[in-house]
Amino acid sequence: MPRSRKRPPGVDSKLLIKDAAKLLPEPSRRLFLRGAANLGALAVLSGCDIVDGETSDSALRVISTFNDRVQALLFNPNTLAPEYPESAITRPFPFNAYYSQDEAPDVDSDQWQLEIGGLVDNKKPWTLPELYKLPEVSQITRHVCVEGWSAIGSWQGVKLSDFLKLIGADTTAKYVWFQCAEGYSNTIDMPTALHPQTQLTLKFDHQILPRAYGFPMKIRIPTKLGFKNPKYVTAMWVQNNNAGGYWENQGYNWFSGL
Amino acid sequence: MTIEATVGPPLAPRTTAGLVIHPRWVRVTHWINALAMLMMIGSGWQIYDASPLFGFVFPRQLALGNWLAGALLWHFAAMWLLMVNGVAYIALGILTGRFRNKLFPVYPRDVFHDLFAALRGRLSHDDLSVYNAVQKVLYLGILLTGVVIVLSGLSIWKPVQFHALTSFFGGYNTARYVHFAAMTAIVAFLVVHVTLAVLVPKSLRAMIVGR
């Protein structure tokens, strides 16, 4: 599967990666303990490898994979995320990323196109005017961040399940993978991709999606944590292998359903 | 092994010697719960620090998991230990009649009486197999808090799939405060519980060896 993509103008990827690395708390694989202060925790999962923590780390990841399966079972494709009135919208809706707002990708809409790949009949890339012409759906839902805070936003765009049908995607495939302008990526399960509220989002509060919220396109998934809602999307692939994602590869739970 | 209890005269005052105060299942579930609680609280503090509800954070030295991702992995691993053990404990507590025998009845008058006696240092701990009224209230309270912390936790974890439960706790944001308040109550209980166990060491011994 090709991972290369057009570099959006105005984004120095080296600089971005350097800045992102600075913000990362620790080398990602060291999720474990700080010192031996947590007496109780030591005995259970770590076995003999208490000082190093690698064993704990992999045991915790095994449980996290188990939790992926439990969440897939808990996920009801017909259960809708609660919707809110306009008055409940959080203003200003927060910008959130692992980089600052002025480092966010500044995508040139004339150059941009949505690349389509994988198990799809029609792989023709989509331009922004073409996407704007598709039937629009709208939702006012709660965005829940993995950190705990939440905010209510208003999103408009194309129902992803309709779009997948339109391009002749194999919806028996297991995953949909998204690539983003700044190098972010994310894989979601097909049942979530087909959920009635999962959206190719082109607008926020009925205005063209601003740069801060992912111009020109984000994926809005109100049944998943915020980091599973990729912004600045440039490519979408339907596939059977789980390609993980930017944060998942550093230890966040993959399914992260709400 | 002692045979005192079996040869004692039938009408003699009840003695703890030789009698099992805490059956094995109580001791096993108690210590598994203690471990699960420490893991849940330690990782929960780290998760709290990522988006504090109040104007303070917990010191990272006390928190479990190196950063948010690690803390979340711990939290959602230890939750299984807490839940499976908790369900086993509550089921056995009901089925064996232990809850009914040990925790009920509890009358407000006795609670006040025993509370004042305790504060004056005049509460008897001769028979560890019988709980005084203050103990009954505290143990019932912590059982209820345990139920609240698990349910409020589930409502934060799955505010879409369990949205009815989340609404019951006043919505996603309020449920976070409920979850935090339950944690605070458990930590407060722990402080009192551990202090008293240290002041009455034979109670700690009973929870380890059973008598």
Residue B100 counted as domain residue: no
Compute the distance between CA of residue B7 and CA of residue B156 in angstroms, rounded to an integer: 56
Chain B environment of A25 (Cβ under 8 Å): 66-68
The pLDDT value recorded for residue B2 is 42
Residues A68 and A140 in one domain: no
| Residues B65 and B114 occupy one common structural domain | no
Low-confidence ranges of chain B (pLDDT < 70): 1-18
User: What span, in angstroms and rounded, lies between the C-alpha atoms of A243 and A246?
Assistant: 10
**Does residue A156 share a domain with residue A55?**
no
Number of structural domains (chain A) is: 2
Q: What is the CATH number of the domain that holds A198?
A: 3.90.420.10
Look at residue A240 and tell me whether its pLDDT is greater than 90. yes
What are residue A139's DSSP bridge partners?
A: A155
Q: State the residue range of the domain holding A36.
A: 12-74
DSSP chain B: ---HHHHS-TTSPP--TT--SS-HHHHHHHHHHHHHHHHHHHHHHHHHHHS-SSS----GGGSSSSSHHHHHHHHHHHHHHHHHHHHHHHHHHHHTSHHHHHH----HHHHHHHHHHHHTT----S-TTS--HHHHHHHHHHHHHHHHHHHHHHHHH-TTTTHHHHHHTTSHHHHHHHHHHHHHHHHHHHHHHHHHHHHSHHHHHHHHH--
Residues of chain B found within 8 Å of residue A38, distances taken between Cβ atoms: 38-39, 42, 64
A149 and A50 together in one domain = no
Backbone angles phi, psi at A146, to 5 degrees: -60, -25
pLDDT of B65 reads 86
Query: Is residue A115 located within the same domain as residue A238?
Result: yes
Both A155 and A64 in one domain: the answer is no
Residue B211 placed within a domain: yes
Question: Percent of chain A at pLDDT above 70?
Answer: 79
B156 Cα to chain A: minimum distance (Å): 8
pLDDT category of residue A232 using cuts at 50, 70 and 90: very high
What 8-state DSSP symbol labels residue A227?
A: G
Clarify whether residues A33 and A88 are in a common domain.
no
Residue-wise pLDDT for A120-178, tens only, equals 999 999 999 999 999 999 999 999 999 999 999 999 999 999 999 999 999 999 999 99
- Are residues B79 and B147 both part of a single domain? no
Q: What is the pLDDT of residues B131-153, one digit of tens each?
A: 889 889 999 999 999 999 999 99
**How far is residue B19's CA from residue B128's CA, in Å, rounded to a whole number?**
10
Q: Among A57, A74, A91, where does a domain finish? A: A74
Mapped to the 3 state alphabet, what secondary structure does B5-25 carry?
HHHCCCCCCCCCCCCCCCCHH
- Within a domain: residue B197? yes
Taking residues A232-243, what's their average pLDDT? 96
Whether residues A70 and A147 share a domain: the answer is no
> At which of A74, A90, A125 does a domain end?
A74
**How many CB atoms neighbour CB A155 within 10 A?**
24
At B20 the pLDDT is: 85
Is A229 found in the same domain as A109?
Answer: yes
% of chain A beyond a pLDDT of 90: 71
Q: What's the token pair of residue A145?
A: 């961040």
* Per-residue pLDDT at A69: 96
Inside any domain, residue A39: yes
Range of the domain at B76: 20-52+61-83
CA distance to partner chain A, nearest, from residue B177 (Å): 11
Lowest mean pLDDT among A50-59, A82-91, B106-115, B158-167: A50-59
The distance of A188 to chain B (nearest Cα, Å) reads 17
B111 and B170 assigned to the same domain: yes
Are A121 and A61 within one domain?
no
Does some domain include residue A240? Answer: yes
Q: Do the Cβ atoms of A76 and B161 come within 8 Å?
A: yes
CB contact under 8 A, A64 and B76: yes
Determine the pLDDT at residue B60: 87
Interface test with A, best of B51, B160, B172, B194 (most A CBs within 10 A): B160
In a domain, A29, yes or no: yes
Record: contact B66-A74, CB cut-off 8 A: no
Q: Same structural domain for residues B68 and B117?
A: no
Residues A124 and A183 in one domain: yes
Residues in a beta bridge with A224: A257
Residue with tokens 């005084």: B132
**pLDDT score recorded for residue A13:** 52
In a domain, B90, yes or no: no
Are residues B44 and B110 both part of a single domain?
A: no
Size of the A and B interface in Cβ pairs below 8 Å: 115
Using a CB–CB cutoff of 8 Å, tell me whether A28 touches chain B: yes
Burial of B68 (C-beta count, 10 Å sphere; 0-12/13-18/19+): buried
How do A175-180 and A233-239 pair as beta strands?
Answer: antiparallel
Give the integer Cα–Cα distance in Å for B70 and A32.
Answer: 6
Chain B: give the shortest CA distance to residue A48, in Å. 18
Does B178 reside within a domain?
Answer: yes
Q: Are residues B114 and B163 in the same domain?
A: yes
Q: Please tell me whether the peptide bond between A210 and the residue prior to it is cis, using omega within 30 degrees of 0.
A: no
Q: At residue B12, what is the residue type?
A: A
Kindly state whether residues A168 and A217 are assigned to the same domain.
yes
Mean pLDDT of A196-216: 95
The mean pLDDT value for A176-198 works out to 96
Contact A151, A220 (CB under 8 A): no
Task: Give the pLDDT of residue A254.
Answer: 96
Checking ipTM against 0.85, whether it exceeds it is: no
Residues with Cβ within 8 Å of B156's Cβ and at least 6 positions away in sequence, in order, are A148, B166, B172, B175, B176, B179
Contact residues of B toward A, CB < 8 A: 34-35, 38-39, 42, 47-48, 50-51, 60-70, 72-74, 76-77, 80-81, 156, 158-161, 163, 172-173, 176
Q: Nearest to residue A152, comparing CAs of A227, A93, A224?
A: A93
- Measured in degrees and rounded to the nearest 5, phi and psi for residue A233 equal -70, 135
Count of domains forming chain B: 2
- Whether residue A256 is contained in a domain is answered as no
Tell me whether residue B55 is exposed, middle or buried, using C-beta atoms within 10 angstroms of its C-beta: 0 to 12, 13 to 18, 19 or more: exposed
**Res. A28: pLDDT tops 50:** no
Structural domain includes residue A258: no
pLDDT tier for residue A5 given thresholds of 50, 70 and 90: very low
* Residue whose token pair is 């709290």: B48
Yes or no: say if A43 and A33 are a contact pair by the CB < 8 Å rule.
no
Token reading at B14: 């009840």
Of A27, A57, A74, the residue at which a domain comes to its end is A74
Residue whose pair of structure tokens reads 């959920």 in the numeric block: A195
Does the residue B39 lie in any domain?
yes
- Cross-chain CB nearest to B74 (options A60, A148, A252): A60
Q: Which residues in chain B have Cβ-Cβ distances shorter than 8 Å to A60?
A: 70, 73-74, 77
A5 occurs within a structural domain? no
* Chain B residues near residue A30 by CB distance under 8 angstroms: 66, 70
Q: How far, in Å, CA of B140 to CA of B124, rounded?
A: 20
Q: A236 lies in a domain?
A: yes
Q: Are residues B69 and B117 in the same domain?
A: no
- Nearest CA to CA, how far is B148 from chain A (Å)? 19
Q: Is A229 helix (H, G, I), strand (E, B) or coil?
A: coil
| Confidence label for A194 from pLDDT (cuts 50, 70 and 90) | very high
Find all residues with CB under 8 Å of A185, minimum gap 6, and list them. Answer: A177, A178, A179, A230, A243, A244, A245, A246
User: What pLDDT is stored for residue A50 in this prediction?
Assistant: 38
Q: Is B2 a member of any domain?
A: no
Cα–Cα distance measured from residue A28 to residue A35, given in angstroms and rounded to the nearest whole number: 17
Tokens standing for residue B89? 């404990």
pLDDT at A206: 96
- Is residue B177 classed exposed, middle or buried when 0-12, 13-18 and 19+ CB atoms within 10 A define those classes? middle
| CA angle at A212 for the pair A206 and A215, rounded to the nearest 5° | 65
On whether residue B12 sits in a domain, the answer given is no
Regarding whether B116 and B73 lie in a shared domain, the answer is no
Say what the pLDDT of residue A52 is. Answer: 45
Q: Are residues B138 and B208 in the same domain?
A: yes
Domain check: are A157 and A69 in the same one?
Answer: no
Task: Show residues of chain B in contact with A222, CB under 8 Å.
Answer: 160
Sign of the torsion formed by the C-alpha atoms of A131, A135, A140 and A144: negative
Which run of H or E residues covers position A177?
strand A175-180
